[in-house]
Amino acid sequence: MITNTELEHKGNLYPAGLVSFDHDQDTVSFLSKNGVRLNITVLRDNMLRFRYATNGIFEDDFSYAVDKDHPHGFNHLKVEEHETHVVITTEKFICKVAKVDLRVGMYELTGKPIVEDELGFHWEESFEFGGNFVKMSKASKDQENFFGLGDKPTNFNLKGKRLSLWNTDQYAYGKDTAELYKAVPYYMGLHNNIGYGIFFDNTFKTHFDFCHERRNVTSFWADGGEMNYYFIYGPQLSDVLTTYTDLTGKPELPPMWALGFHQCKWSYYPESKVKEITSKFRELNFPCDAIYLDIDYMEGFRCFTWNNDYFPDPKRMVQELEEDGFKTVAIIDPGIKIDLDYSVFKEGLENDYFCRRADGPYMRGKVWPGECYFPDFTNPEVREWWSGLYRELIGEIGVKGVWNDMNEPAVMEVPGKTFPFDVRHDYDGHKCSHRKAHNVYGMQMARATYEGVKKYNFPKRPFIITRANYSGGQRYTSTWTGDNVATWEHLWLANVQIQRLCVSGMSFAGSDIGGFAEQPSGELYTRWLQLGIFHPFCRVHSSGDHGEQEPWFFGDDVLEISRKFVELRYQLLPYLYTAFYKYVEEGMPILKPLVYHDQEDVQTHYRSDEFIFGNQFLVCPIQEPNVQGRRMYFPRGKWYNFWNDTLVTGGREMWVDAPLESMPIFVKEGAIIPKYPVQQYVDEKKIEQMSLDIYYKLGKENSEFYEDSHDGYEYRQGGFSLRTFKLTGKDDEVIVQQHKHGKYASTYDTFKLTFHGVPFEIRKVFFENEEVNLEDLQYNAEDQTMIVSKDFSELHLVG
């Protein structure tokens, strides 16, 4: 046990006793005897913000993470002075601040502790850089578990881990690599069925220790800046996460093609190679929506240029690809080649848009083009310029999406693989060094890219993918998990990382399917693709120097199986799109780890193989070679085996068969799943009939189905349709009720209903309480299908 005195010895300082406190409408401000100021602001009934100023003076209040339109406002606030504490009570919970040392505790209204400071806030002065290392430690409860922190390649449950956030290009990273491409300083704690969240909005290098150094202590600290964090109370993790996502923002809906299957490699060139690949997809009837151009499409790796030998007429090529149903996505890196004959470089130089070292010289570093300067994306004027650079690429040539890479920022052949600390940044007028701007550099680049692609692709929707990001960056871009490796362990990592990103507010994520470095066996490739079709972003990518990674490369068996699974993704697009809508509207993660799905069931707290896709699919990847199945955990409730409709009762672990052509997929009983016919790409076909798969349940279950025109912004003016289905199953009756909102006119008139698991023989059907002839519905008793008008409001099947 470390005592305060010992820590003070190590140079740590603490707030002393309370001198005074006061409060206005939403903020309670405390002053300590040694001049520390603590401001506690009530943002919502379940969210407080804490800021500490060691010398009584706060920094400018500025955040890249917080969405300027985030919902705030609360119903109730009471501030009372007690003998030993100041007590703040909202509608949802209580916060107590100790007068003796300003330590803080959070309690449910019943008095049950949620989380209490251990040492609480303390700091250490930084002689080298000025300012402080700001630190917080909190007591952890027995059985407490932790989740979150973005893309960390480690166990889903973070208990026992110590991790730091400093965006780093980690080629072929491994399990437990501490620093990766993204910084999401947000985690959730769960104990005694009480969930809460902490968002430490500090862009310096941050550190998190979850009972690693000391068994009952969780701490987080930063190498500079302010102790500035948000506390969010659940008790449901789902409420914690939606509150965090409200605070840091939600993206707009992507164009539906961005949810299709994408093929990528470093690199496809010249044009004939690109065409060869895309033609092969069509020839083999393997659905695909996008083809990617990696750095070799450029002239000497100069961003916004084309190598004319490889791509003599990019506009024609992009157009032809589009006619064949392929969107083109092109890579853009931050490094701008030092070359006075290169207009982007010249403009950047003339306008002083590049980052400079502390004493004035430009920040010079080597990346793919050779020696480069780097735009300061934290300067709004630079972002505006950068977004304008997309005019030709997007507006004229017709590229539909942009891929931002190397924006940690990565620099080759230097210690630390990034900019030195002294590099200066504008930070939107709050000038600072790279120590503070590093973790937001990639986010601000992606933001500028988003603005540009959106402007020149309008009225269509933009698609952006970035490697580096910071909390809140989900407003602008999707992401992938970077340079993974073609190993079984990386398949496991991909599963955990995407679930983790989903509970860190960044749902639009995927891994390089098959692995970026090295080459997968056909079996590994197949198993990875089976997982990948359930990830919000689904792309095969490889570094290319170890062999090919197109689905036909591994022989006919792999091709057949892969096609079957990609076809399944295309059939499930309306379901995935609905899950995306729930993410965009409500901040609900697209994948739900089991602990998020059912936190009351402690069996879920250490589970991470299985997850919920959308709301009603339970999926479990096969992560080992040569197996014919596996044991998996079924959350409570009943689940239909997707392949054969057998019903499984959850709350236990069970064996599931899964030879290579299969994988464990289950559907929640009562679910109504919207399905498209297989298409080779989004909008290939006019949907003439929509399928709904209805899974019988004794009891009730709600399902949703969101639709719009798949691209464009009409959905924001009511051009969408949201159908809510309510299923009620009885021993000899199934009732399906439908409510529809929105004015989008679907392209089809009918639903084809397929019933699963109905325990009685269907004898009669009623629509809006009138009996309809079974023949008129083309009822097929063997397949359990019937065709109904899409706008029914109530349907009864009676046995």
Helix (H) / strand (E) element for 633: namely strand 629-634
- Rule CB under 6 A: say whether 467 interacts with ligand MIG: yes
Residue 331 or 453 having the CB closest to ligand MIG: 331
Q: 776 catalytic, yes or no?
A: no
- Which residue out of 405, 669, 704, 707 is catalytically annotated? 405
Check residue 678 and report its DSSP letter: P
CB of 768 to ligand MIG, least distance (A): 54
**Residue 266 or residue 643: which is nearer to ligand MIG going by CB?**
266
- What is the nearest approach in angstroms of ligand MIG to the Cβ of residue 179? 15
482 counts as binding ligand MIG under rule CB under 6 A: yes
Report in angstroms the alpha-carbon separations of 335 from 77, 357, 443, 525, 536: 50, 16, 15, 33, 29
Could you tell me which of 164, 202, 231, 622 has the C-alpha nearest to residue 437?
202
Distance CA 681, CA 711 (A): 14
What sign results for the dihedral spanned by CA atoms 632, 635, 641, 645?
positive
Cβ atoms within 10 A of the Cβ of 235, count? 19
3-state secondary structure 22-75: EECCCEEEEEECCCCEEEEEEEECCEEEEEEECCCCCCCCCCCCCCCCCCCCCC
Supply the minimum distance, in Å, between the C-beta of residue 511 and ligand MIG.
11
User: What is the rounded CA–CA span in Å between residue 793 and residue 774?
Assistant: 18
Angle in degrees, CA 386, 67, 594, rounded to 5: 110
| Phi-psi map region of 138: left, alpha, beta (phi>0 left; psi -120 to 50 alpha) | beta
Q: Is 598 a catalytic residue?
A: no
Q: Which residue of 129, 266, 760, 766 would you call a contact of ligand MIG, by CB under 6 A? A: 266
Q: Is 483 in the site for ligand MIG (CB under 6 A)?
A: yes
- Report if residue 290 touches ligand MIG, rule: CB under 6 A: no
In the bound state with ligand MIG, the residue whose beta carbon lies nearer, of 335 and 593, is: 335
Q: Name the token pair of 747.
A: 């392209």
- Taking CB under 6 A as the criterion, which residues in 548-607 touch ligand MIG? none
Q: At what angle do helices 434-457 and 380-388 cross, to 10 degrees?
A: 40
294 part of the interface to ligand MIG, by CB under 6 A: yes
H or E stretch covering 755: strand 750-756
Residue 437 or 540 with smaller CB distance to ligand MIG: 540
Site for ligand MIG in 714-773 (CB under 6 A): none
> Can you tell me the distance from the alpha carbon of 736 to that of 795, in angstroms, rounded to the nearest whole number?
5
Q: Does 182 bind ligand MIG (CB under 6 A)?
A: no
Interface with ligand MIG, residue 408, by CB under 6 A: no
Site for ligand MIG in 326-385 (CB under 6 A): 331
In order of 226, 252, 628, 634, 673, the CA distances from 31 in angstroms are 16, 42, 64, 52, 56
Handedness of CA 725, 567, 642, 757 (dihedral sign): positive
Kindly state the helix (H) or strand (E) to which residue 445 belongs, with its residue range: helix 434-457
Strands 638-641, 611-613: pairing is unpaired
DSSP 499-522: HHHHTTT--SEE-EET-SBS---H
Give, to the nearest 10 degrees, the angle between helix 556-571 and helix 573-586. 50
Residues 6+ apart with CB under 8 A from 778: 785, 786, 787
Residue 74 or 266: which CB sits closer to ligand MIG? 266
Q: Which of 144, 451, 483, 707 is catalytic?
A: 483
In the Cβ-directed half-sphere of 276, how many Cα atoms lie within 13 Å? 8
Q: Tokens representing 655?
A: 């064996």
- Asked if 60 is an active-site residue, the reply is no
CA quadruple 385, 389, 395, 399: dihedral, nearest 10: -130
* Nearest CB to ligand MIG, comparing residues 480 and 751: 480
Q: How far apart are CA 361 and CA 355, in angstroms?
A: 9
Q: How many residues bind ligand MIG (CB under 6 A)?
A: 11
- Give the nearest distance from C-beta 181 to ligand MIG in angstroms: 8
| Nearest-5° Cα angle at 160, 439 to 228 | 40
Return the sign of the alpha-carbon dihedral for residues 484, 486, 487, 489.
Answer: positive
Three-state SS for 442?
helix
CB of 541 to ligand MIG, least distance (A): 6
| Residue whose CB is less far from ligand MIG, 86 or 303 | 303
Binding to ligand MIG in span 56-85, by CB under 6 A: none
Using CA atoms, how far apart are residues 249 and 566, in angstroms rounded to an integer? Answer: 31
The one among 101, 376, 405, 567 contacting ligand MIG by CB under 6 A: 405
426 binds ligand MIG (CB under 6 A): no
| Residue least distant from ligand MIG (Cβ) | 266
* Least distance CB 375 / ligand MIG (angstroms): 18
Is 417 a binding residue for ligand MIG by CB under 6 A? The answer is no
Per the residue annotation, which of 144, 408, 669, 711 is the catalytic one?
A: 408
Site string for ligand MIG, 506-545 (x = CB under 6 A): ----------x------------------------x----
- 150 neighbors 480 (Cβ within 8 angstroms): no
* Residues binding ligand MIG (CB under 6 A): 266, 294-295, 331, 405-406, 467, 482-483, 516, 541
Tell me the catalytic residues: 405, 408, 483
